[in-house]
Amino acid sequence: MKIVSTVEELRIALPTNQTIGFVPTMGYLHEGHMSLVENARRENDVVVMSIFVNPTQFGPNEDLDRYPRDFERDEKLARDAGVDVLFYPTTETMYPLDMARVTVHHGADVLCGASRPGHFDGVLTIVSKLFNLVQPTRAYFGLKDAQQVALIEGYVRDYFVPVEIRRCPIIREETGLAKSSRNVYLSDVETVEASRIFSALTMAREALDTGQQVDEVKRQLTERLNEIPNSQIDYVELVDYPTLGAVSSDSTELLLAVAIQFERARLIDNVIWKKG
Ligand code: AMP
């Protein structure tokens, strides 16, 4: 595995005339990230992973400074998973001029976009920079961040970016808790309680299967999430997927998405419900 941190080193390390599968991450790797690498390995000649905690997607009072980082551990995990090129740039490399950001209009004002203003501008900015540098054949994103996937797909379509976006399923603990770098901030008790998020989402999906109305499903889901002690609901939403607009009679896929604030970690999770 080649480890590179400058644009020049990356350009030298990238292959020509081979397919490139790209896995962008913020590091502190877990099985969720590894599943993206596995998919990328299967479908491409070469796998490139980036590790970069992107400052522009964090708000002023968010956890940029204390976001977990452990490059030595990540390097080993990436090598063992079969990553060929690991791009580990500095902030100065990624933001040489502090230039304008990509702005997202449609779909950035709901769910995490409503709670974290400017977050998706930061995400799209770094994703577009990384795509320009790596020029991947395919790029792999987890449905853990379903809104992010939808906005990146929209960006790629709208800007004619020559890359195929691959959606990957959410990897969970046995308890149902979605794997996340931020889970290290949960206490033991919170880790147990947080598994109720997925149970509540599963029950909501089952309620949709039995034909219950969206408003009623949302009410019950909210009630169940409210029962999780020492936590606060940031949002509970059911929206059309991947448009992220309001659910209508034409909707064939619904995103049930939640964000729950624990003492030191804000967790997001979701399920997608398909009609029929
Ligand atoms: P992050 O390092 O949190 O920015 O995540 C990097 C990529 O890994 C994103 O595409 C995430 O959606 C994906 N990812 C994070 N957690 C999971 C998970 N539990 N299952 C699947 N993909 C995940």
**Are 23 and 105 within one domain?**
yes
Q: What digits encode the pLDDT tens for the residues 44-78?
A: 999 999 999 999 999 999 999 999 999 999 999 99
pLDDT of residue 127: 98
Q: From 125, 147, 168, give the residue that closes a domain.
A: 168
Same domain (yes/no): 81, 203? no
Would 176 be classed as within a structural domain? Answer: no
Q: What does DSSP say about strands 46-51 and 232-240: parallel, antiparallel, or unpaired? A: unpaired
Residue 174 lies in a domain: no
Distance 232 CA to ligand 1 centre (A): 23
Say which CATH number the domain at 209 has.
Answer: 3.30.1300.10
My answer on whether 124 and 190 are in the same domain is: no
Q: ∠ CA(124), CA(182), CA(113), 5° rounding? A: 35
Asked if 255 and 137 sit in the same domain, the reply is no
Q: Using alpha carbons, select from 65, 62, 83 the residue that is nearest to residue 74.
A: 83
| 106 inside domain | yes
Is-catalytic flag, 30?
no
Ligand 1 site, CB within 6 A: 25-26, 32-33, 35-36, 141-142, 144-145, 168, 170-171, 178-181
- State both tokens at 259: 């964000």
Both 49 and 163 in one domain: the answer is yes
Percent of the chain with pLDDT over 70: 100
Residue 54 lies in a domain: yes
Across the range 126-144, mean pLDDT stands at 98
Judge whether residue 262 has pLDDT over 80: yes
Looking at 30, 33, 106, 119, which residue is catalytic? Answer: 33
Looking at the structure, do residues 108 and 193 belong to the same domain, yes or no? Answer: no
Q: Are 208 and 219 in contact (CB under 8 A)?
A: no
Average pLDDT over residues 212-240: 98
Say whether both 91 and 214 belong to one domain: no
Candidates 23, 28, 33: which one to mutate for ligand 1, based on the most atoms within 8 Å of Cβ?
33
3-state secondary structure of 3: strand
Whether the predicted model's global pTM rises above the 0.95 cut: yes
Kindly state whether residues 207 and 140 are assigned to the same domain. Answer: no
Confidence band of 93 (pLDDT split at 50, 70, 90): very high
- The verdict on residue 251 lying in a domain is yes
- Look at residues 143, 168, 193 and tell me which one is the last residue of a structural domain: 168
74 and 151 belong to one structural domain: yes
| Of 68, 54, 63, 65, nearest in space to 126 by CA | 54
Both 143 and 239 in one domain: the answer is no
In this structure, the answer to whether residues 200 and 66 fall within a common structural domain is: no
Could you tell me if 134 and 87 are in contact, meaning their C-beta atoms sit under 8 angstroms apart?
Answer: yes
> What's the CA gap between 32 and 48, in Å, rounded?
16
Whether residue 175 is contained in a domain is answered as no
Domain count for the chain, please give it: 2
Q: What is the number of the ligand 1 atom nearest to the C-alpha of 144?
A: 12
Assigned domain for 173 exists: no
> What CATH number does the domain containing 56 carry?
3.40.50.620
Does the pLDDT at position 105 exceed 90?
no
What range does the domain containing 21 cover? 2-168
Beta bridge partners of 47: 21
Asked whether residue 270 falls in the same domain as residue 136, the answer is no
Q: What is the pLDDT of residues 173-183, one digit of tens each?
A: 999 999 999 99
Backbone φ and ψ for 43, nearest 5 degrees, come out as -110, 0
Q: How far apart are CA 209 and CA 275, in angstroms?
A: 8
pLDDT, tens digit, 9 for 90 and up, residues 11-47: 999 999 999 999 999 999 999 999 999 999 999 999 9
Domain edge (last residue) among 168, 199, 215:
168
